[in-house]
């Protein structure tokens, strides 16, 4: 059975997000629908190797007045690792400040369709029949164009015995026509569920540099190509990930 105290906290957080809509929305009043798909040689998330085979990652979202509701998935091309197939549902609210800074609050539901648990099973981790969903809340702050660093933090608030946390700093810049990104991520660690991020204490698990540029296919069509070198100091391993976006 669900932990009522935790469920109430999650419900309150979602209500706060929905009530946060300002009277004047910088994003305008039109509804925007977006769809796309990324193809990667492997799926690496926050320094963790989720699937070591090629991954197809579709996404669908609807945005209105700063709010965005969406679904994102990751599907391996190998039956041997299909247990890592994933669907994430998210709700976010973003707000641009007059000084050029921006902020976002985000709720993400992680669901693994091939993990042998039913979609509508929302039980907690301590239930005899554990649930299929892990809920994470996050917040991020991005500086103005003169210093566009992004600082973000995330915490699992439901269905994680350790309430694992993750913090990240990102800094983007350009080199000619290529977009460069630097990232450093730290896991808070958990003795109750150390397997989530692979650590039971505070550790750096994600250091990376990425580059992205447009590959011109024809005079009217181009494809974004990205390459990222990712190092997990805790696990003492590195990954070179590349992908195409459509």
The full set of domain ranges for the chain reads 4-18+31-245
| CA neighbor of 72 nearest in space, from 88, 56, 85 | 88
DSSP string, 20-79: T--SS-TT-S--EEEEEEEEESSEEETTEEEESS-EEEEEEEEEETTEEEEEEEEEES-G
What tens-digit pLDDT sequence spans the chain (246 residues)? 444 444 444 444 444 444 444 433 444 579 999 999 999 999 999 999 999 899 999 999 999 999 999 999 999 988 776 678 999 999 999 999 999 999 999 999 999 999 889 999 999 999 999 999 999 999 999 999 999 999 999 999 999 999 999 999 999 999 999 999 999 999 999 999 999 999 999 999 999 999 999 998 888 889 999 999 999 999 999 999 999 999
Stated length of the chain: 246
Rounded distance, CA 105 to CA 92, Å? 6
The answer to whether 78 and 41 have CB atoms below 8 angstroms apart is: no
State the CATH class of domain 4-18+31-245.
mainly beta
């Amino acid at each position: 059975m669900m932990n009522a105290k935790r469920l109430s906290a999650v419900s309150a957080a979602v209500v706060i997000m929905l009530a946060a809509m300002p009277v004047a929305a910088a994003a305008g009043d039109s509804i925007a629908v977006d769809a796309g798909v990324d193809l990667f040689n492997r799926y690496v998330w926050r320094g963790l190797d989720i699937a070591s085979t090629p991954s197809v990652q579709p996404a669908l979202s609807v945005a209105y007045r700063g709010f965005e509701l969406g679904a994102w998935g990751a599907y391996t091309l190998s039956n041997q690792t299909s247990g890592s197939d994933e669907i994430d549902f998210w709700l976010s609210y973003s707000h641009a400040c007059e000084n050029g800074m921006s902020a976002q609050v985000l709720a993400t539901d992680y669901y693994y369709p091939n993990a042998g648990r039913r979609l509508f099973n929302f039980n907690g981790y301590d239930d005899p029949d554990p649930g299929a969903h892990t809920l994470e809340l996050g917040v991020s702050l991005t500086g103005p164009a003169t210093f566009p660093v992004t600082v973000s933090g995330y915490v699992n608030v439901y269905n994680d015995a350790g309430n694992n946390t993750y913090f990240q700093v990102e800094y983007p810049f350009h080199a000619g026509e290529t977009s460069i990104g630097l990232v450093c991520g730290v896991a808070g660690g958990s003795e109750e569920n150390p397997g989530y991020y692979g650590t039971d204490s505070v550790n750096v698990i994600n250091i990376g540099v990425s580059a992205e540029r447009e590959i011109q296919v024809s005079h009217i069509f181009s494809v974004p190509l990205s390459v990222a070198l990712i190092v997990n100091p805790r696990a003492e391993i590195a990954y070179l990930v590349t992908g195409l976006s459509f």
